[in-house]
Structure 1
Amino acid sequence: MESIIQHFRRDEQPFIEMVIGWTREVEDTYAPKLTGFLDPRQIFILGSIVRSSGLQFEVHGVFTEPERQRALIYPEYYEPVPEDFQVTVLSMKYPAKFMSLEHRDILGSLMALGIDRSKFGDIRLEEGIAQFAAAEEMKDYLKTNLTSIGKSKVRVEELSSSEALIIMAETWKEELHTISSLRLDTLVASLVNCPRQKAASLIQNDKVKVNHVVRNQQAFEVNESDILSVRGSGRFKVISIEGRTRKDKIRLLIGKLE
C-alpha cells in the first residue's frame, strides 16, 4: 500500500485517506460501500488502492462515456447490479428560442443550493433540454428547490423510461508527446505548441486547470488520468505514461478533445 500511495500528490492525501477508510469498512463489514460521484483522477486513485487491498470495484455514471461516476467497492463474493449505484437522471426543458443554457449555468445553480459536488455527476445539454445525473437521495430536494437557472424559471423532473439519454459526441484524438519532465509548464508548452515561457504565463494567470481546479504553480506535476483545460486551447487528458526514451525523455499518450 505504501509503495502505491507515495506516487500520489500531497494535496491528494485527504482523498487517499478517505479511500483507505472505505476499503477498511468493506473489509470489516464484508459489505459493499458506495461513494459519491468522483472525477477520473479520483477513480484512478481509488482503483489503485482498492486493487492493492484485494477488493473489487465498479463505477457507474448512467450516461454514455461519463466523466463523473459513483464507485462501488465490494468484496469478492458480491455481484453488483445497477440499482446498487443509486443514481437518477433529472431533466429540465427550457425555451431554447428565448434563452441559452450552458454547463456552467446549471453547475452554478446546483452549487448555489449548497449541494456538495459529490452528489451529482455529468451534465448533458442539447437544444431545449438539459439532463444531469444525481444521487438518488437528492432527487426530491432538487425537484423542489432547483426552480430557476439564472433568471429563468425551470421545472426539474425525473427522466421517464420513455425518454432517451442525451448522447455527447465527444471525440478524443490521441497524440504522443515527448517531454523532459512532468512539470505543468513543460506539458502545457508541448500541448499548445508554445515556448515554455508563454506556458508559464498561462499558468500564472490562472488560465490552466487540472481536474477542474486552477493550478498556478509551474512546477506542479501532472500524472496519469489528469484532465487539463487550457483557456483558448481546449481540453486534454493524460491517457498513460508510456515510459522513457533512450535520452531519458518521458513519453505521454495524450487525448485532445476535438
Structure 2
Amino acid sequence: MNIYQHFRQEEHDFIDQVLEWKETVEEQYAPKLTDFLDPREQEIVRIVVGENQEVKVGFHGGNEGAERKRALLYPSYFNPTYADYNIKAFELSYASKFIKLEHPQILGSLMSLGLKRSKFGDIIFKEDRIQIVVAEEISSFVELQLKEIGRASVSLRLIPLENISSVKENWEESTTTITSTRLDVIVASIYNMARQKAKLLVEGSKVKVNWRLVEQPSFDCQEGDVISVRGYGRCKLISLEGKTKKDKWRLIFGKRK
C-alpha cells in the first residue's frame, strides 16, 4: 500500500521524516523524541506509525489539553513516563497592570532568540497569567536570554508541569452552503464576507490551513481541516454533507468559542 496516497503532496516530506524516525527506533531499539508538533503533524505520526507491534508512539505537551505536543516513538519493551518528553514550563512576570502582551509578540520574541518554532510548545493565556512551554534542551537558554517582549521587561519563573493552566478548545457548530471546496470560497462563506475579500486575505498571507500558511485561493480544503484567518479566528471543517437542490455542498463547521 502506498501510504502517500492518503496525504496531500505538501505533507510528503514530513511523512518521510516520520518514516525515518520509525526506522531509527527499529534499528537502534531505543526511543526517539521529536520536537513539538502541531495537531496535524501529530495525526500524521499516528497514522504512519499505526498499530505497529515493534514501534509505539505517545504524545505529551506539558498538560492534558495541550495543542502542540512532542512525540515519543519507542520500542515495545520501553515504558515511557512524562519525564521522557523533556518538557519545561515558565510563567512570565511583567507589569501586567500597565502592559498587555499578545501571542504574536511573545512568539516573535522567542523566535528572535534564533530558535526554531518546533522547540516551543503552547503559549497559554489564562486571566492575567501567561505561560510558555518549551523543550528542556533550550529552557536554560530561554530563561537567560528572554528579558524583553516588545517594550515590556519580563522575567521567567520555572513552574511544575502540573501548574500549567488548562485551556479547553470548544467548537460551536454551524451549517453553511458552498459552491466548491476552494479555500477562498470556504473562508467567504464561514466568515460571511465577499469572496474577493477572502481571496485577498489568502493572497495576503493571512490564512493558515492545518497550521501551515496557504497563499493559493484555489487550495482544495478537506474534512477535518482547521483554518485560521488572522483577525477573524479559527474554524474547523467538521463534515461535508450531500448537495442541495441548488447543487451546493452543505458544510458543517465549528468556530472556536
TM-score (norm 2): 0.86
Paired residues, number:
255
**Number of the residue aligned with 1:6:** 5
Superposition pairs of residues 1-258 of structure 1, within 5 angstroms: 2=2, 4-51=3-50, 53-54=52-53, 55-160=55-160, 164-168=163-167, 170-176=169-175, 179=178, 181-194=180-193, 196-239=195-238, 241=239, 253-258=252-257
Question: Contact 1:89–1:133 at 8 Å: present in 2 too?
Answer: yes
- 1:203, 1:215 within 8 Å by CA — same for their partners in 2? yes
Please state how far the C-alpha of 1:198 moved relative to its aligned partner. 4.2
Q: Distance in 1 between matches of 2:231 and 2:252?
A: 21
Structure 1: gaps (5+ residues) = none
Summarize the Cα distance change of 1:46–1:160 in structure 2 as closer, same or farther, 3 Å threshold.
closer
Q: Distance in 2 between matches of 1:75 and 1:221?
A: 37
SS of the residue 2:133 aligns to: strand
Question: Cα deviations across residues 37-96 of structure 1 (Å, max 9, x unaligned)?
Answer: 001111111111110655331211123421111111223333321111111111211121
In 2, are the aligned partners of 1:41 and 1:225 still within 8 Å (CA)? no
Measure how far apart 1:181 and its partner are: 4.3
Does the Cα contact within 8 Å between 1:44 and 1:225 map onto a contact in 2?
A: no
Of stretches 11-20 and 34-43 in structure 1, the one that deviates more from structure 2 is 11-20
Q: CA 1:103 to 1:251, structure 2 compared with 1: closer, same or farther past 3 Å?
A: same
SS where residue 163 of structure 2 aligns? coil
Q: Give the conservation status (yes or no) of the 8 Å contact 2:25–2:32.
A: yes
> Secondary structure at the residue paired with 2:20?
helix
Q: Deviations over 1:183-224 (max 9, x none)?
A: 212322332244544433332333322234432211212345
Instruction: Report if aligned partners of 1:178, 1:250 keep a CA contact under 8 Å in 2.
Output: yes
Q: Secondary structure at the match of 1:6?
A: helix
TM superposition shift of 1:116:
0.7
State the alpha-carbon separation in 2 of the partners of residues 175 and 74 from structure 1.
Answer: 40
Deviation at 1:236, TM superposition (A): 0.8
Does structure 2 conserve the Cα–Cα contact (< 8 Å) formed by 1:176 and 1:252? yes
**Alpha carbon RMSD of aligned pairs, Å?**
2.7
Structure 1 range deviating more: 86-95 or 8-17: 8-17
Distance 1:44 1:16 in 2: 11
Structure 2 unaligned residues grouped into runs of 5+: none
- After TM superposition, give the deviation of residue 179 of structure 1 in Å: 4.4
User: Residues 194 and 51 from structure 1, CA distance in 2 versus in 1: closer, same or farther, beyond 3 angstroms?
Assistant: same
CA distance in 1, matches of 2:47, 2:110: 31
Between the aligned partners of 1:30 and 1:118, the Cα distance in structure 2 is 25
- On the 8 A contact 2:110/2:146 being kept in 1, the answer is yes
Rounded Cα–Cα distance in structure 1 between residues aligned with 2:218 and 2:69:
29
